Amino acid sequence: MLKNICAGLVGAALLTSGISSYVAAEQADHVPTFADMSVQIKEPTMEEKAAAIAAGQAQVAAQQPKAEPEEKAAQPAPAPAAENKQEKPAPVETEKQSQERKISINLAARSLALFEGNKKIRLYPIGPGKASTPTPVGYYKIESKDYNPTWTDPATGRSIPSGPDCPLGYRWMQIRGNYGIHGTNRPNSIGHYVSNGCIRLHEKDIEALFDLVKIGTPVEITYNRVVVEKLDDNTVVYYIYPDGYGWQNLNVEDVNKWLAGYGVANFVSNEDIEAKINASDGEPTYVAKVYPLYVNGEKMKNKAVEQDGVMYLPAIDLADAAHVNLGWDAAAQKLISTLGTAPGVDKKDVLYCKAADAKTLFKLGGTLDNNNYVMKFVPVETQETVTTKTDEKIDATQKIDHSAEQAEAKNDAKADVKKESKAEVKGESKQAKEEKTK
């Protein structure tokens, strides 16, 4: 009996020879994906089932247990004439490990990312579905993994075994029905909307990914023209991609909402966002480094933002935390607190001060600590000091004893009196001699 099913149902396909045959729906001038194809599968007889099991070449779908059998080790790309071999699912005990990794596909960005937890460990360019046959968005999982698929042209019945002429490449991973992730013999199609719904990868990329994921690995497919990321050094970068499917119109407010989630919306002008939407070139724009902000152990609503080497702090947050009244002189661009005055910056109606001015305005000092910006009150100096001409500091509150200076002055005065007396006596003697002479 012959049964027609979708091309993606690879896991159910079984021929007694152990070779899965994929029948394309289009002729030779078009190289199809799995979504272009249908499959004819011959239901094996009981004798054929017994022979296949005894030979260890295949598993019969109807006899498979619910628990997934052990997954075969990945194999290198074979010669073109090599037989197809279907990888068996991973054992149940490894399912938890497979869930630690996740495939995330962004159709607008035409990229596939592999995450381990929250960390992106691989990023590959892809060729998703055409606008007329788009790849469906949603949440799926790897349902089967196959080596060396063979493609059969339905118009001629001619089969192309796994190899350089096979349009499916050397690896196939089913994600739902007739949709899957696979290789291609048309590497120039990667980066374009080209398939009938499947995800194409460069051969080296699909073989690497094939070895990194297991059956059961989650697959998330989205269509997001705006992508915002925080790099390992805390730099926030954003991208805007073209609307390949015509599904997502963007405006400045939409992009601001994405940037606000990372604490940098106030550090990108609306004019710059508008220009980036118009370009939609998918190129990165680096905004600033962002750090959670703490004052005396309390987390602030807004973040500390370092842009162009300057650390900016949300002034209102700091004023509230320091219990200090704060005013704003818009004309002079000055922040005025009850403790001091310093330059400020108005970024989309949010006031910021520079970290260097926080001590003047709020008596707060800060430093980076484990990717957080931590601020504490700066101790106030209680003892005033004065500087002498020799830069010697003395205690201004200490009473100075002037008795020695006063005694010295008295001695000097007495000496002056004695000198004057002697001068007068000498003068009188001279006058007496002159009178005698007369």
Catalytic positions are 182, 198
Handedness of CA 232, 227, 288, 275 (dihedral sign): positive
Instruction: For residue 376, give every residue at least 6 positions away whose Cβ sits within 8 Å of its Cβ, in sequence order, or none.
Output: 295, 296, 364, 365, 366
CB 33 within 8 A of CB 1: no
Query: Smallest Cα–Cα separation from 173: which of 66, 61, 74?
Result: 74
CB 342 within 8 A of CB 360: yes
Handedness of CA 91, 95, 97, 98 (dihedral sign): positive
Q: In 15-33, which positions are buried (b, 16+ CB within 10 angstroms) versus exposed (e)?
A: bbeebbbbbbeeeeeebbb
Residue reference for tokens 């990794």: 101
The radius of gyration of the chain from alpha carbons, rounded to an integer in Å, stands at 41
Q: Is 88 exposed, middle or buried (0-12, 13-18, 19+ CB in 10 A)?
A: middle
In the chain the first and final C-alpha atoms are separated, in Å, by 171
Residue reference for tokens 């080497």: 309
**How many beta carbons lie within 10 A of that of residue 366, not counting itself?**
22
